[in-house]
Amino acid sequence: MRAGPITPGVIVKNSQRAVSIRLPELQRFAEVALDQARRSLRISSERLVGIEEISVILVSDRRIALLHRRFMNIAGPTDVITFQHGEIFISTETAVRQAKEYASTPADEIRLYIVHGILHLLGFDDATDGTAKRMKKAQDRIFKAATAISRANY
């Protein structure tokens, strides 16, 4: 009997100092979000072949702006950048600004960005209106489920 692909683990790293982070809770959320994404979307672990570990790296606006310019040739900070080898960079300062704009919390914005990054790793894209709509629908469903599960079990 041959074993199928193994789902990579996920680890959250805090590489910034501007925003206070509750790392254990965020770590638990990321684990649950990955599991919920795979289950609810019925996506095989084969989509993640070659990724040994998913790293969610919390960074400053300055650091994400550098990545944004270098890899996408776009000036300025953004909320989340996902690299297909398993790195998800998230700007905590952007999360704070977006939380104010969308009447959310910085923690929920960061959780939303984690789900967004995971969906990119699973093959979703938001390049067109149609694919963005499909991704947002999946993102909202997974965010809601993962938030409920991770809060109930923490």
Q: What is the pLDDT of residues 97-111, one digit of tens each?
A: 999 999 999 999 999
d(CA 86, CA 70): 18
Residue 4 has pLDDT above 60, yes or no: no
- Taking the C-alpha atoms of residue 75 and residue 52, their distance in angstroms, rounded to an integer, is 31
pLDDT tens per residue across span 109-126: 999 999 999 999 999 999
- Who wins on pLDDT, 154 or 22? 22
| Beta bridge partners of residue 14, listed in sequence order | 58
> What is the b/e burial string over 116-127, where b = at least 16 CB atoms within 10 angstroms of the residue's CB?
bbbbbbbebebe
Domains in the chain: ranges and CATH: 9-152 (3.40.390.30)
* Confidence (pLDDT) at 48: 74
pLDDT at residue 2 in the model: 44
Inform me whether the pLDDT recorded for 153 exceeds 80: no
